[in-house]
Chain A
Amino acid sequence: MAEFLQFLFSGLTIGAIYALVALGFTLIYNASDVINFAQGEFVMIGGMVTFFAVAAGVPLPLAVLLAVTIAVLVGLCLYGFAIRPARNATAVTLIIITIGASIFLRGVAAIVFDKNFHSYPGFAGTAPLQIGGASVLPQSLVVLIGCGAIVLALWLLMSKTLVGKAIIATAANKAAAQLVGVNTGWIIALSFAASAAIGAIGGILATPITLTNYDVGTLLALKGFAAAMLGGMGNPLGAVAGGLIVGLLESFGAGYLSSAYKDAIAFVVILAVLFVMPQGLFGRASVERV
């Protein structure tokens, strides 16, 4: 039982990070139909900026604010300088652009920062808590609470505010949204900014557990993308569920089956789900018109 709980907690923690990355994918995809493979770089920026700001003597809350601000600026630049000039390009072309952007950002990070692994102490102390025989880092709870807060805030934004309605309208039909007076360009920019902020917060929360370096974004982008597809692309709740499922699969797979093949287990399940449900777990079937 203690073992089971241990795997459950570590799976939920890493799953929450994947969920935030998947949520970032979903926000940008809904607003602009772009699969942003530079999503993992926002996570990297969050962790790296916080570490170097703290190391330079900046108080932690200010460092966090700085990291999120920089990530948002990078997200806006990504939209303004790389995605917006290429609008109307095909989906694959846009994917290549975001991959180019991720290579570029990794290159910048390697020079501005360095190529070493970094970490800082958890926000709620470092002594492990004992829960049902499993030892849990306090930071794991911080990650879970942080992830929950972001999902709640996003849900409130989407369902209770006019901006949220405009985002949903843009996702549903861009031309129709423009017709009723939604500034879709502004909404897409906002989606990039929000997506960057969510990624950065994920990185800030996760770094005490997972460490960070300039190259950490590649694998996160892969897992986040897979999680978003598992949930059904474009569905925010599906993205969160997909992220948690991938995290749990990895953790239980590594614990009970084989740690060498932990990534394999997650992808075998994703393939199996897609074969049975080609639109993901929570996606809607689309109809092709001729």
Chain B
Amino acid sequence: MPALLRNYGIVAAIAVLIAVLPLILPSTFYLRIAALVFIFSIAVLGLNLLMGFAGQVSLGHAGFFGIGAYAVAIGPTHLGIPSWVALIAGVTLAGLLAFVVGRPILRLKGHYLAVATLGMGLLIAMVFTNEARWTGGPDGMPVPRLQLFDWTARGSITWYWISGVTLVIASLIAVNLIASPTGRALRAIHDSEVASKVLGIDVARYKLLAFVLSAIYAALAGAYLALFDGLVTPATAGFLRSIEFVTMAVLGGLGSILGSIVGAAILTVLPQVLTVFHDYEHIALGLIMIVFMIFLRAGTVPSLAALFSRKSS
């Protein structure tokens, strides 16, 4: 199984990179950016399972991201439960919600699926904006630090390690899933739903599985970001966040584990770099998105991989 071995190799390379990076990075500012990249990578990895492998688009994944984020804010503040319990509860809740809405939504195809997931995401974000008694309304609310027994998770380096290790585990799960019969079924659905159905694949069940799994990844990433930032606002669950996730997945490369991380890295680091352009920041960001998608239209990682394999052969 060369594909599986290659994927394990990629995960191992990611793990080594995460382990070595703190030795190279000059200040905690860079560690903070790296931690953000890892957190977004987890969400994009899940979305890539849905989009890149099962071939189903979602413009509402920030909704699940927001559920994870608000769970670790509301749980300790209003319900008095510890952060880590709230985190598990939030991730479970997002998975359950995906399970319940997934069946009717995933019957839709193409752009209809896009608008339905968009609507779902907007509805979740609206609840966070309007239920001010619980969520602090449009201004958002502070998030208490993650505490395990006597130890409090704070600072960029701590979250660098937490998010880095989680990313490696999440990648391993994704790689194993892709190589399993489930992964083959998902790819078959991507190629042709009718053909998969004829071959006896339970299309609805596998689509739902990918949807629930991607929701869980997104919620976990959302909880991490909220705990790391110490603040959560409705923008966490907003439409622009959803679009950002989709753009990260497509920019890095649909159907590529490494692509998820590269995509997340590009769109996280780029705005930091572009701040030197001040007012021209958005112009540059828009232009870069267009140019990338025109010239690397299969996504950065697959396009470059194809380029190198053509050169070497």
Contact = CB atoms under 8 A, between A and B. Distances in A.
Interface of A: 35, 81-82, 85-86, 89-93, 96-97, 99-108, 110-111, 218, 222, 225-226, 229, 233, 260-261, 263-264, 267-268, 270-271, 274-275, 278-280, 288-290
Nearest to B198: A290
Interface string B214-250: 0000000000000000000000000110010011001
A261 B122 CA distance: 11
In this complex, which of B240, B250, B288, B290 has the most chain A Cβ atoms within 10 angstroms of its Cβ?
A: B290
A85 B294 CA distance: 7
Given A96-B246, A229-B111, A86 B104 contact: no
A274 B279 CA distance: 41
A290 B254 CA distance: 23
Contact of A107 (B105, B114, B285): B285
B130 A100 contact: no
B123 A267 contact: yes
Contact of B239 (A86, A222, A275): A222
A239 to B, nearest CB: 13
A100 B284 CA distance: 10
B194 interface: yes
B286 A105 contact: yes
B280 interface: yes
B251 A267 contact: no
Contacts of B114: 35
A290 B280 CA distance: 47
Given A93-B293, A288-B194, A268 B123 contact: yes
B290 A104 contact: yes
Contacts of B184: none
Contacts of A85: 294
The binding surface of chain B is classed by DSSP as helix
B137 to A, nearest CB: 10
The range of chain B's interface size is 35 or more
Given A274-B116, A288-B193, A92 B107 contact: no
A226 B195 CA distance: 30
A264 to B, nearest CB: 5
Contact of B283 (A91, A104, A260): A104
B286 A107 contact: yes
B110 A91 contact: yes
A290 B122 contact: no
A213 to B, nearest CB: 14
Nearest to A94: B293
Contacts of B284: 107
A280 B110 CA distance: 12
B279 A110 contact: yes
A89 B129 CA distance: 37
Contact of A274 (B112, B195, B285, B287): B112
Contact of A271 (B111, B119, B239, B279): B119
A226 B116 CA distance: 9
A93 B251 CA distance: 8
A96 B293 contact: yes
Contact of B289 (A81, A100, A108, A226): A100
Contacts of B247: 96, 99
B123 A92 contact: no
A287 to B, nearest CB: 9
Nearest to B289: A100
Contact of B120 (A93, A225, A271): A271
Nearest to A98: B290
Nearest to B104: A275
A278 B112 contact: yes
15 contacts: A82-B290, A86-B293, A99-B289, A103-B282, A107-B281, A107-B282, A107-B283, A222-B118, A222-B239, A229-B111, A233-B112, A267-B122, A267-B123, A275-B107, A288-B193
Given A103-B285, A264-B123, A268-B123, A97 B293 contact: yes
In this complex, which of B250, B281, B284, B293 has the most chain A Cβ atoms within 10 angstroms of its Cβ?
A: B293
B192 interface: yes
Contacts of A218: 239-240
In this complex, which of A85, A97, A270 has the most chain B Cβ atoms within 10 angstroms of its Cβ?
A: A97
Nearest to A25: B111
Interface string B275-310: 000011111111111100110010000000000000
A248 to B, nearest CB: 17
B175 interface: no
Nearest to A277: B112
A84 B253 CA distance: 21
B275 to A, nearest CB: 13
Given A229-B111, A229-B115, A263-B122, A103 B250 contact: no
Contacts of A35: 111, 114
A90 B105 CA distance: 22
A86 B298 CA distance: 11
Contacts of A81: 290
Contacts of B57: 92
Contacts of A280: 112
B194 A110 contact: no
Contacts of B192: 288, 290
Contacts of A92: 51, 57, 246, 250, 254
B109 interface: yes
B108 interface: yes
A82 B115 contact: no
